RNA sequence: GGCGCGUUCGUCUAGUGGCUUAGGACGCCGCCCUCUCAAGGCGGAGAUCACGGGUUCAAAUCCCGUACGCGCUACCA
């Protein structure tokens, strides 16, 4: 039987007007079971933007109730990646706060107490069914076309039955008893959403080992931490009625819900390793910029009212509102992200770029003892790279001792041999070697040999860099220096 | 299987009943610049607004249905 309890569960919708109040409290609640996923990063970013836009609080809560998969190593890396993104939090496991502790593993007693309260109130019950028994029953239900619900085996156990289970060594879990009624709530992105309790199974809130499960811990903490808006991924939409049920049973008011769309891979399935890099750390290691990642990720399912896309953190904070969140999932388009990062590469202050790029050059094994030289190399290739690792790779032409030709047929022609020979001849007495000098020599070669344009420049580019297309040669030779330039041309002649 | 959510150019999106011959960005193509390739500037192609019904003088925008996609259905989060 369904009892319409709509009014009881209805969440008062909060308009953007009231969001300007100071008591906006949002949280990012990751579990430290791996490196930060870009989807989670986007959730963190949106929470942070919302909090900063409203002058509210951004809280970091670590959900490590899965003891098997959570590690302190990942916990540290998580914080590190969030900081790298430029996010900061007002309360969290590392900075403390009035609503701590902020690590769920430090709150286990709280969950046990609340579970006992629900037990005493009759909102929960001990269940001795094994995982195997439950699985068997749910498969049967599916085969019959029914929704997979707990069948109530342990609702009314006698003392005798309990004794029997205990003597078998069974440890009970605590399940929440889902009432047979409608659960309705207002999602700021999606509007009113209604679930029927009859379609929700009695779910475990406390494991046999006494540790709370996600839905329970999250529901308890969100109210205890006075969270005003839960901004999280759409994959939690179906968890929401369970959490509301818990809030309600505990006599708490539910926060506002904001379910943001998922980020998908190119084939529209959930973004995973298969699609390439899906961790913040991977982009970080390739030399993408945090401000570019934040910019790009915030534009997945959100847009500025101005229509602009290149947005600083400052502008994102100023312009971000929940109203402009879209409902549909977005594909992570690496090509567009590359473009955006490339834009940052070319627009961030050059000194900052070089400081960030130098470690990447080092990693390539280049000799960067001459910093001025390294900077010039970076400047020479900056328009041809989208991220620092690519930039470093492109700098190889300045540090290699030998040129590997992409295509050597170009250099075997009569005219190529002629212009190369002329080059060696012209540089015999040169001491002052700059790009201008090279240009002059090229002009002279052209006059003497009659070779010009592509036929003149292409062989030189191939001889000096090994590439058919690429940099402005005067720049290249200046950085290469006279000796190396001559040496490379000599090698080209011998090819 | 059940329940929930979603669906505008290849991709990210604007659009909240007439301002829309559906706008912008990435990518693609062309032109300019130029020794080449980038970068930059300019321009172009690209969407019967998933499909089918309604409501309305008028619908991408409101309602219903269908299809497809995604999520949840764990003693994961």
Q: Which of residues 279-318 of A touch strand B (CB under 7 A)?
A: 299-301, 303, 305, 307, 309
Q: Which of A283, A294, A198 is nearest to A1 (CA)?
A: A198
SS3 A231: strand
* Whole-complex ipTM: 0.96
pLDDT top residue among A266 and A14: A266
Res. A18: pLDDT tops 60: no
Using C1' positions and the CA of A239, the closest nucleotide is B72
- Helix-, strand-, coil-residue percentages of chain A, each rounded to 5: 50, 10, 35
Q: Which helix (H) or strand (E) holds A8?
A: helix A6-9
**From the centroid of its chain, how far is CA A72?**
20
Q: At A255, list the tokens.
A: 């926060």
HSE, CB side, 13 Å, CA atoms: give it for residue A285. Answer: 7
Any idea which residue has 């030998």 for tokens? Answer: A402
Work out if A226's Cβ lies within 7 angstroms of strand B.
Answer: no
Q: Which of residues 150-179 of A touch strand B (CB under 7 A)?
A: 171, 173
Kindly report, residue by residue over A239-290, the tens digit of the pLDDT: 999 999 999 999 999 999 999 999 999 988 888 888 899 999 999 999 999 9
Kindly report, residue by residue over A231-244, the tens digit of the pLDDT: 999 999 999 999 99
Q: At A141, list the tokens.
A: 């239900």
Work out if A323's Cβ lies within 7 angstroms of strand B.
Answer: yes
Are the beta carbons of A99 and A91 closer than 8 angstroms?
yes
Q: Which of residues 378-397 of A touch strand B (CB under 7 A)?
A: 383-384
Are the beta carbons of A344 and A291 closer than 8 angstroms?
yes
Kindly report, residue by residue over A1-12, the tens digit of the pLDDT: 222 222 222 233
Confidence (pLDDT) at A495: 80
Are the beta carbons of A177 and A125 closer than 8 angstroms?
yes
Work out if A443's Cβ lies within 7 angstroms of strand B.
Answer: no
CA A225 vs CA A62, A244, A283, A458: distances in Å: 13, 15, 33, 67
pLDDT top residue among A176 and A269: A176
Q: CA of A235 and C1' of B71: distance in angstroms?
A: 5
d(CA A27, CA A126): 31
Q: CA of A331 and C1' of B21: distance in angstroms?
A: 30
Q: CA of A483 and C1' of B18: distance in angstroms?
A: 73
**Across the beta sheet with A182-187, what order do the strands follow?**
A57-60, A25-28, A229-233, A256-260, A182-187, A191-196
Residue-by-residue DSSP string for A57-120: EEEE-B----TTT--HHHHHHHHHHHHHHT---SBBTTTB-TT---BGGG-HHHHHHHHHHHHH
Using C1' positions and the CA of A300, the closest nucleotide is B12
Using C1' positions and the CA of A194, the closest nucleotide is B4
Using C1' positions and the CA of A333, the closest nucleotide is B11
Are the beta carbons of A51 and A226 closer than 8 angstroms?
no
Query: How much is the pTM?
Result: 0.92
| pLDDT interval class at A188 (50, 70, 90) | very high
Q: CA of A48 and C1' of B23: distance in angstroms?
A: 30
Any idea what the Cα angle at residue A316 is, between residues A314 and A320, rounded to 5°? Answer: 130
**What's the mean pLDDT in A290-312?**
97
Q: Which of residues 187-216 of A touch strand B (CB under 7 A)?
A: 190-191, 193-196, 199, 201, 203-204, 207-209, 213-215
Residue whose Cα is closest to the C1' of B72: A238
- Name every residue whose Cβ is closer than 8 Å to that of residue A434 and which is 6 or more positions away in sequence: A478
Confidence (pLDDT) at A20: 46
Using C1' positions and the CA of A470, the closest nucleotide is B37
Q: At A34, list the tokens.
A: 């791996």
Confidence (pLDDT) at A100: 81
In A88-239, which ranges are continuous DSSP H helix? 108-121, 131-143, 159-167, 214-224
Q: Look at A215-219, A367-371, A382-386, A426-430 and tell me which has the smallest mean pLDDT.
A: A426-430
Q: At A423, list the tokens.
A: 């080059």
Q: CA of A105 and C1' of B5: distance in angstroms?
A: 32
SS3 A266: coil
Burial of A407 (0-12, 13-18, 19+ CB in 10 A): exposed
Work out if A458's Cβ lies within 7 angstroms of strand B.
Answer: yes
Work out if A29's Cβ lies within 7 angstroms of strand B.
Answer: yes
Q: CA of A383 and C1' of B28: distance in angstroms?
A: 20
Characterize the bridge pairing of strands A204-206 and A173-176: antiparallel
SS3 A331: strand
Work out if A268's Cβ lies within 7 angstroms of strand B.
Answer: yes
Residue whose Cα is closest to the C1' of B7: A328
Q: Which of A399, A327, A410, A334 is nearest to A365 (CA)?
A: A399
Using C1' positions and the CA of A299, the closest nucleotide is B12
d(CA A486, CA A338): 37
Using C1' positions and the CA of A141, the closest nucleotide is B1
**What's the mean pLDDT in A435-459?**
91
Are the beta carbons of A228 and A23 closer than 8 angstroms?
yes
d(CA A283, CA A300): 17
- Chain B positions with any atom < 7 A from a protein CB: 1-8, 10-16, 23-27, 35-40, 69-77
């Amino acid at each position: 039987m369904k009892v319409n309890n709509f009014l009881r569960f209805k969440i008062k919708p909060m308009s953007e007007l009231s969001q300007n109040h100071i008591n906006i409290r949002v949280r990012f609640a990751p579990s430290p079971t791996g490196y930060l996923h870009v989807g989670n990063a986007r959730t963190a970013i949106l929470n942070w933007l919302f909090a900063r836009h409203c002058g509210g609080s951004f809280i970091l809560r670590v959900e490590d109730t899965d003891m098997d998969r959570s590690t302190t190593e990942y916990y540290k890396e998580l914080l590190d990646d969030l900081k790298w993104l430029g996010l900061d939090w007002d309360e969290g496991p590392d900075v403390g706060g009035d609503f701590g502790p902020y690590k769920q593993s430090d709150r286990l007693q709280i969950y046990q107490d609340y579970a006992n309260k629900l037990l005493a109130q009759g909102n929960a019950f001990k269940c001795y069914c094994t995982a195997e028994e439950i699985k068997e029953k749910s498969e049967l239900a599916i085969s019959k076309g029914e929704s997979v619900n707990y069948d109530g085996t342990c609702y009314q156990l006698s003392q005798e039955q309990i004794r029997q289970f205990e003597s078998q060594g069974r440890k009970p879990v605590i399940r929440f008893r889902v009432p047979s009624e409608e659960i309705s709530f207002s999602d700021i992105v999606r509007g009113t959403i209604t679930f029927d309790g009859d379609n929700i199974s009695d779910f475990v809130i406390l494991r046999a080992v006494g540790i709370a499960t996600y839905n329970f811990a999250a529901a308890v903490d969100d109210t205890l931490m006075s969270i005003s808006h839960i901004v999280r991924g759409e994959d939690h939409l179906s968890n929401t009625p369970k959490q509301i049920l818990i809030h309600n049973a505990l006599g708490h008011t539910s926060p506002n819900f904001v379910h943001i769309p998922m980020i998908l891979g190119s084939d529209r399935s959930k973004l995973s390793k298969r699609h390439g890099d899906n961790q913040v750390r991977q982009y970080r290691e390739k030399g993408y910029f945090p401000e570019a990642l934040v910019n790009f990720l915030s534009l997945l399912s959100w847009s500025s009212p101005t229509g602009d896309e290149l947005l600083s953190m400052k502008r994102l904070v100023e312009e971000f509102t929940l109203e402009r969140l879209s409902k549909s999932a977005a594909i992570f388009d690496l090509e567009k992200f590359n473009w955006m990062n490339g834009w940052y590469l070319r627009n961030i202050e050059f000194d900052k770029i070089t400081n960030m790029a130098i470690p990447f050059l080092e990693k390539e094994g280049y000799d960067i003892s001459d910093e001025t030289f390294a900077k010039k190399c970076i400047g020479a290739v900056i328009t041809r790279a989208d991220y620092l690792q690519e930039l470093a790779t492109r700098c190889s032409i300045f540090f290699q001792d030998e040129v590997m030709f992409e295509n050597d047929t170009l250099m075997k022609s009569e005219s190529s041999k002629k212009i190369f020979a002329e080059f060696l001849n012209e540089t015999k007495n040169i001491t002052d070697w700059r790009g201008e000098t090279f240009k002059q020599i090229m002009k002279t070669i052209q006059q003497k040999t009659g070779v010009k344009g592509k036929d003149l420049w292409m062989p030189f580019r191939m001889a000096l860099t090994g590439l058919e297309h690429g940099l402005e040669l005067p720049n290249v030779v200046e950085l290469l220096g006279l000796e190396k330039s001559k040496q490379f041309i000599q090698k080209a002649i011998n090819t």
